[in-house]
Structure 1
Amino acid sequence: MKDTYSTIDVQNIDGVATITINNPPVNVLDVKLMNDIQHFLTDIRNDDKTKVIVFQSANPELFIAHVDMKLIDEPHVLDELAKNVPEGLNPFQAFAEMIRHQPQVTIVKLQGFARGGGAEFVAAVDMSFAAIDGSGLAQCEALMGIIPGGGATQYLSQRMTRGRALEVVLGADLIDAKTAEKYGWINRALPNHELDAFVQRLACNIATLPDGIIAAAKNAIPAEDLTNGFVRESNEWARLFIQPVAEKLIREGLDNGAQTIYGERNLEQLLRDQL
């Protein structure tokens, strides 16, 4: 297993690997972070001693901000990621699908905001639990002239009604933890002071189950085959991404404070003011 990573910290105790995302200033989902997580998941995939993976953030305000908007000027940096992408998927979908099909149980402990690719990350894991105060999820891509392109249209359609999925994608608002729980985006919204202990207890309980139980449960409750939906999503995302309006809105967003701590605190309004 790789000993050091530049954007995540790894702690593995009694079958539970805790991954702390630490990619300052706002935990943007850039190539470095995607590479680190993919390398970790590959390294740990066949480790029978690791039963559960818990993802958390070192930043109490932001879990994963969203995909790096600066990629609009550096699309070539995705070339390496794209080399091993399965047919029918784009690199962002392949990243989420790697998480969704990990043999270990994957859990997100959400404190702070997760938008765009960060929200797709939350939807890709097996289970997610959020702090009631200060946590939220958003698919705000519509405010950048595009739609989600990393799996959200398909994951949300599995987790909630079509109407609610369209509300999330087209409304492009930040959804609080209690509403996200009601919609099925996350498992539970918990009081902040209870979140750590709840997730720790659940992860440890799962890790102590007899060998074979996790694999049997995952086989009996399989992840849905979303192949055709991913193709539709990627085609529509790519069609919109090359339009001048998308480039304009993304560049203006960066100029106006996106990917800064200040701008990310109210990103939806920052982006909406540009329309």
Structure 2
Amino acid sequence: MNYENILTATQNGITTITINRPSKLNALNKATIEELHEAFDTANKDENTKVIIVTGSGEKAFVAGADISEFANFSVENGGKLAAKGQELLFDFVENLSTPVIAAVNGFALGGGLELAMACHFRVASDNAKMGLPEVSLGVIPGYGGTQRLPQLVGKGRAMELVMTAGMIDAQTALNYGLVNHVVSQEELLPLAEKIAGKIMRNSSVAISKAIKAVNANYKDGIDGFKVEIEQFGACFGTEDFKEGTTAFLEKRKADFPGK
């Protein structure tokens, strides 16, 4: 499918989604959010895609924020709808995908860009990456899940400071905070993400999807994560992947998971 604001490519089980608005530092506008939803949905349904990597085009930015020109004149009602629709279409959608999603953060990841990276299942970053939630400097707050996911990842105190100061942190600080898992040079960023994806693909895609659901359950109000884990653990026993994985182990051979 042809997109106006993003690029997609699938190779060796990995679908790479690249946000491609370099003149806007890959800022998220309404059209880009809709295209990203479509691309993630398509990749998630593709049996040939085992891992999704999302990154930004160029060397300057992953996503430098939301496109402010689109909502500068919004009313209270329109602002609420903007956040609700964005979370539904993209940020919550990505977090709950059954296919693992890795954010390869190159350059600026600010505002909606950091929120997108945090919605992914984990993050790797280039050493020139800068991350922050600068929304309060515009008289607004993060609206795409930033006030919820950042404290989950770095702790309440650090999140409060980052939100209140509208400051940016560098890649090494993000690594120290646990916001990203690895920091490498820009040239090594996508190869690292692909290397990790390769390790993921050796395992059962069915089991991984159930693990994602169980881990996410711990962060949802009113949901007993332990109960979800028990349910998903039990469900694994009815899969072909479980039969193959246990048989391969007992036969001392490498498992060839059918993904069912």
Q: TM-score range by the shorter chain?
A: 0.7 to 0.9
Partner residue in 1 for 2:148: 154
Deviations 1:254-274 (A, max 9, x none): xxxxxxxxxxxxxxxxxxxxx
Name which of structure 1's ranges 26-35 and 213-222 shifts more when overlaid on structure 2: 213-222
- 1:31-70 aligned within 5 A: 31-70=30-69
Q: How far does residue 98 in structure 1 lie from its aligned partner after superposition?
A: 0.7
Give the TM-score normalised by the residue count of structure 1.
0.72
- 1:15-94 aligned within 5 A: 15-25=13-23, 26-73=25-72, 75=74, 90-94=84-88
Aligned residue type for 2:32: L
Match of 2:99 among 76, 96, 104: 104
Give secondary structure in 1 for the equivalent of 2:159: helix
Deviations 1:105-160 (A, max 9, x none): 0001111101100010111100110011x211010001101111110110011112
Partner residue in 1 for 2:11: 13
C-alpha separation between the residues in 2 aligned to 1:179 and 1:128?
14
Report the identity percentage. Answer: 29
Deviations 1:153-174 (A, max 9, x none): 1001111221101111011111
Tell me, which stretches of 5 or more residues in structure 2 are unaligned? 223-260
Give secondary structure in 1 for the equivalent of 2:216: coil
Query: Across the two proteins, how many residue pairs are aligned to each other?
Result: 217
Aligned 8 A contact 2:51 2:101 in 1: yes
Give the TM-score normalised by the residue count of structure 2.
0.76
Over the aligned positions, Cα root-mean-square deviation in angstroms equals 2.3
C-alpha separation between the residues in 2 aligned to 1:58 and 1:218?
28
Q: How far does residue 223 in structure 1 lie from its aligned partner after superposition?
A: 4.7
Provide closer, same or farther for how the CA distance between residues 46 and 193 of structure 1 changes in structure 2, counting only shifts above 3 A.
closer
Q: How far does residue 215 in structure 1 lie from its aligned partner after superposition?
A: 1.7
Partner residue in 2 for 1:200: 194
The structure with higher relative contact order (CA 8 Å, sep 6+) is 1
Deviations 1:23-65 (A, max 9, x none): 1312110011101001112223322321110011112101111
- 1:126-165 aligned within 5 A: 126-132=121-127, 134-165=128-159
Tell me, which stretches of 5 or more residues in structure 1 are unaligned? 229-275
Q: How far does residue 224 in structure 1 lie from its aligned partner after superposition?
A: 4.0
Give secondary structure in 1 for the equivalent of 2:101: strand
